[in-house]
Amino acid sequence: MRRELTFILLCFAASSVFGKDSSPSFKLNTTSSQFLLDGDPFTYIAGEIHYFRIPHLKWDDRLKRVRALGFNAITVPVPWNFHQLFQDDDPLWSGDHDLVKFIKTANTNGLYTILRVGPYISAEWDNGGLPWWLIRSGKISKFRSSDAAYMTEVTQWFKHLLPKIAPLLRKNAGPVLMIQIEHLYGLLGICDQVYMLDLANLVREHLGNDVVLFTLDAPVVQFMRCGTLPNVLPTIEITPTNVDGTVANWFNLQKAFMQGAPAVASQFIINPYKMWGNNVTDRYVNSVIIQTAKTAFALNASISFHMTHGGTTFGFWNGAVEPYPVTTSYDSFAPISESGDVNELYIDIRGWILSIPGWSYPPTPVPANLPRTAYPTVELTVFDTISGFILGVNPECWATKETPRTAEYIRDGYGYVYYNTSIIECGQLYIPTFSDNAYVFLNQNFVGALYKQFNSIHNNTIDVQGCLDQFNSLEIIVEITGRPHNYYPDMSRGIQGNVYMHNITLENWESCVVPIDTYEVSMVEENYEKLQKHIEENFDLEKSKSAVTTNPSVFIGNLHISGAPADTFLDTRGWGKGVVTINQYNIGRYWASVGPQQTLFVPSEFLHKGTNLIMFYEFEGATTACTTTSCTAKFTNVPIFDY
Ligand SMILES: *[C@@H]1O[C@H](CO)[C@@H](O)[C@H](O)[C@H]1NC(C)=O
Ligand SMILES: *[C@@H]1O[C@H](CO)[C@@H](O)[C@H](O)[C@H]1NC(C)=O
Ligand SMILES: *[C@@H]1O[C@H](CO)[C@@H](O)[C@H](O)[C@H]1NC(C)=O
Ligand SMILES: *[C@@H]1O[C@H](CO)[C@@H](O)[C@H](O)[C@H]1NC(C)=O
Ligand SMILES: *[C@@H]1O[C@H](CO)[C@@H](O)[C@H](O)[C@H]1NC(C)=O
Ligand SMILES: *[C@@H]1O[C@H](CO)[C@@H](O)[C@H](O)[C@H]1NC(C)=O
C-alpha cells in the first residue's frame, strides 16, 4: 500500500518536471487539433455496436471480434425506452440491460467507449429510443426541444443514467472517453439551441465541466449550424466515396465549426440497414469503404464504423422510416455478421489496419466463428385463433363508451392492441385513423386487413358482412409495426378516434393489452408462467392434428434438443406475417411474404437441452409452410435474404 502511494507521488512529481500531466484524462488540444488521452495525442478507430441487440452472454464474443479488427474503441448509444419500460418504473440495469457491464467488458478487451446518451439516438430503434409513455402524457408539445414537459422527463432520465457513467469516465481511470448529446439534430430543422445547451448543461452537471461533449451532424452547413454548440465538439457523419477531395472537404467544414477541432467522423456509415418490403439496392463496395477510411485516417481523423456489428432487433423494438418498418435482422452488411461471423469486409478492414505503420492497437487474433446447427424440422399445429388466444389469457382491458383507447393510453407500449365491441348490423366499417395495421374479425372469423400505409396502399374501410340476427362480436387487432426512428413522435398507436359502421359511431369498446411481450429480450416471467399454464390446460400437442384455419392463429410446436444448444436460424419461408416466440423469448417479427428477410436468428442462449416451445403468431396466413394436418418450422445454419 505504502509503496503504491510513493509511486503515485513520484508520478505527480515526474509529470510536473516534464510539464505533462499523464494521469488519466481525456481532453482536446485545440492548438494541435488533437485528442489527448492521459496527456498523449490520441486517435481512435471505433466500431459502433449495440448491447441491446446482442444477448448479454454473447457480449464478450462480439467485443473480442471488434478488438481483433485493430479498433481501439466502441461507440454505444443508450436507448431510454429499452431501460425504462414504464414511466413510474425504475430503469432496468441487469442482464441484457447491464450497460455498465458492457462497457467494462469492452474495456477488458482493450476497447475504450464513446457514449451516445441522446436521449434521441435514432439507431433504427422504436421512436429513436424515446419511450412511448412520453407520447401518452399529452403534455409535451414538441419532442427533442426545450419544451418544459419534455425536459423534465429528460432530466429525470439523466439522473438515473449519468451517475452510472461518472465512475467510468477516463478522468476517473475508466474507459469512457467522451459523450455525444442528441443525434443528427440539425437535420430535424427546428434549430432549438436552447434545448441543445440545456442537454449539454445537464450532462456537465453530472459528469463535470471538463467532460468532452460532442454533437454529430451531416456535413452540410445548414445542419451544422442547427446541430452544433459553442464549446461542444462538432463531429460529422460520412459515407463511402471515391470522389477526390470529398472527404477533405467534409472535415474542413467540420473544423470550421470549432477552432482547433480534431477531425472526427463519429458516424462512418458503411452500409444500409434493411426494411420490410423494400429491397436494398444501395450497398457500398468494400474497396470504396476501405479507401474512404484510409483517406480520413491520413487526414488524422478519428472514425467510427457504423455498424461494426448490427445484431438483432428482438421483440418489437424496431424503428421505421414510414412506410417501411426496419427488419428484425439488423445485420446491415456489417463486418461482423448478425450471428457473429467475420466476413470479407472484416478481413479487408483488418488488413488495412494491419498496414498502418505505428498503430498502437494492432489487430489481435480473430476468434473462430461460433458453431451453428440446422435443427430438424419441427411440426406445429393450431392452438387457437389469435383473438381466442388473447382472450384466453385474460388481458387487461379498458372499457369506454365511444372512442376506443390508443395503445399508449392503455399502457400497451409495443406489439399489438386488441379491441372489441358488439354490433347489431353489418356494413361498411370505417376506421379513419389507426396505426399501423388493423385485422378485422366478425364473430371470431377473419374479415380482412387494413393498412395505414404500405407501399402505395392506404385503406381504411372494409365491408363487414354476415351478421347474425342479434348480437355480433366485432374484433379489431391493431399491430404497432415500429414507431419511426428518423424524426420525433408525432402520434400515438392503435385506434385514434371513432370507428364507424354506416356512418354510425360504434360504442361500448373494450381496448385490451395484448400479452405478447417485448419486455427485455425475454418476456416478463410471470406472464410467461401464465401463458404456459394456459397452454397446458387447453392444448395437447400430441393429440392436435390440425393446421386448418382461415383465421390469424397461434401455432405451437416443440423443438427437442439432445445436447448443448447452438446458434441457429429459423426459416420462415412459407409463413405469412407475424411474430415468433421460443421459450420465453420474443425472437422478433417475420414477414416472409414480402421479405427481404426470410430467416430469424436464434441465439443458443434462448434454447435449452430438452423441449423448447415454439409459437408462431401468424396474422396473414401461412402459405407453403402448412398442410391440412400441420405446419413446419425449418432451421438453417445460414441466413436467407432476398434483395
Ligand atoms: C497542445 O499542442 C501544442 C502544439 O503542438 C503543444 O505545444 C502543447 O504542449 C499541447 N498541449 C498539451 C497539454 O499537450
Ligand atoms: C496529421 O498529424 C501529423 C502529426 O501531428 C501532422 O504532421 C500533419 O500535419 C497532420 N495532418 C493533417 C492533415 O492535419
Ligand atoms: C388493404 O390493403 C392490403 C394491402 O394491399 C390488402 O392486403 C388488403 O386486402 C386491403 N384491405 C381491404 C379491406 O381491401
Ligand atoms: C370483449 O373482450 C372482453 C374482455 O376480454 C370480453 O369479456 C368480452 O366478452 C368481449 N366482447 C365481445 C363482444 O367480443
Ligand atoms: C356516410 O356519410 C357521407 C356524408 O354524409 C355520405 O356521403 C355516405 O354515403 C354515407 N355512407 C354510408 C355508408 O351511409
Ligand atoms: C425483392 O427481391 C426479390 C428477389 O429478387 C423479389 O422476389 C421481390 O419481389 C423484391 N421485393 C421488392 C419489394 O421489390
> Which tens digit of pLDDT belongs to each residue from 52-94?
999 999 999 999 999 999 999 999 999 999 999 999 999 999 9
How large a percentage of the chain has pLDDT more than 90?
84
36-354 with 394-513: one CATH topology?
A: no
Statement: residue 10 has pLDDT above 60: no
CB of 397 within 6 A of ligand 4: the answer is yes
Max Cα distance, the chain (Å): 96
Mean pLDDT value across the chain:
93
Summarize pLDDT for 390-439 with one digit per residue, the tens: 998 888 999 999 899 999 999 999 999 999 999 999 999 999 999 999 99
Structure confidence at residue 232 as a pLDDT band (50, 70, 90) = very high
| CATH architecture, domain 378-382+519-636 | Sandwich (2.60)
Q: Would strands 73-77 and 445-451 be described as parallel, antiparallel, or unpaired?
A: unpaired
Summarize pLDDT for 296-340 with one digit per residue, the tens: 999 999 999 999 999 999 999 999 998 899 999 999 999 999 999
d(CA 472, CA 67): 62
Question: Topology of 36-354 in CATH?
Answer: TIM Barrel (3.20.20)
3-state SS, residue 224: helix
Q: Whose CA is nearest to atom 1 of ligand 2?
A: 300
Q: What is the DSSP letter of 33?
A: T
Atom of ligand 5 nearest to the CA of 427: 13
Statement: residue 500 has pLDDT above 90: yes
Question: Distance, CA 642 to ligand 6 centroid (Å)?
Answer: 6
d(CA 250, CA 292): 12
Strands (E), 32-175: 34-37, 40-42, 45-49, 73-77, 112-118
CB of 124 within 6 A of ligand 4: the answer is no
599-602: strand order across its sheet: 585-591, 577-582, 610-618, 553-561, 378-385, 631-636, 568-571, 599-602
CB of 502 within 6 A of ligand 5: the answer is yes
For the chain, the domains span: 36-354, 378-382+519-636, 394-513
Query: In the prediction, which pLDDT does 138 show?
Result: 85
Question: Distance, CA 174 to ligand 2 centroid (Å)?
Answer: 28
Structure confidence at residue 14 as a pLDDT band (50, 70, 90) = very low
Structure confidence at residue 513 as a pLDDT band (50, 70, 90) = very high
Query: In the prediction, which pLDDT does 11 show?
Result: 42
**Residue 545 corresponds to which cell in the numbers above?**
392434428
Summarize pLDDT for 450-470 with one digit per residue, the tens: 999 877 788 999 999 999 998
Choose among 129, 224, 230: nearest CA to 185.
Answer: 224
Do 619 and 386 form a contact (C-beta atoms < 8 A)?
A: yes
Query: In the prediction, which pLDDT does 524 show?
Result: 58
**Residue 352 corresponds to which cell in the numbers above?**
488495412
User: CB atoms < 10 A from the CB of 519, how many?
Assistant: 18
Q: What angle do CA 218, 81, 307 make, to 5 degrees?
A: 40
Q: Which amino acid is at 549?
A: T
Choose among 635, 538, 639, 523: nearest CA to 581.
Answer: 523
- Per-residue pLDDT, averaged over 34-53, amounts to 98
Query: In the prediction, which pLDDT does 487 show?
Result: 80
Do 279 and 643 form a contact (C-beta atoms < 8 A)?
A: yes
Question: Distance, CA 40 to ligand 2 centroid (Å)?
Answer: 15
| pTM greater than 0.85 (yes/no) | yes
Query: In the prediction, which pLDDT does 8 show?
Result: 41
Question: Topology of 394-513 in CATH?
Answer: Jelly Rolls (2.60.120)
Summarize pLDDT for 533-549 with one digit per residue, the tens: 888 888 887 777 777 77
Question: Distance, CA 389 to ligand 4 centroid (Å)?
Answer: 12
- Per-residue pLDDT, averaged over 93-114, amounts to 97
Structure confidence at residue 532 as a pLDDT band (50, 70, 90) = confident
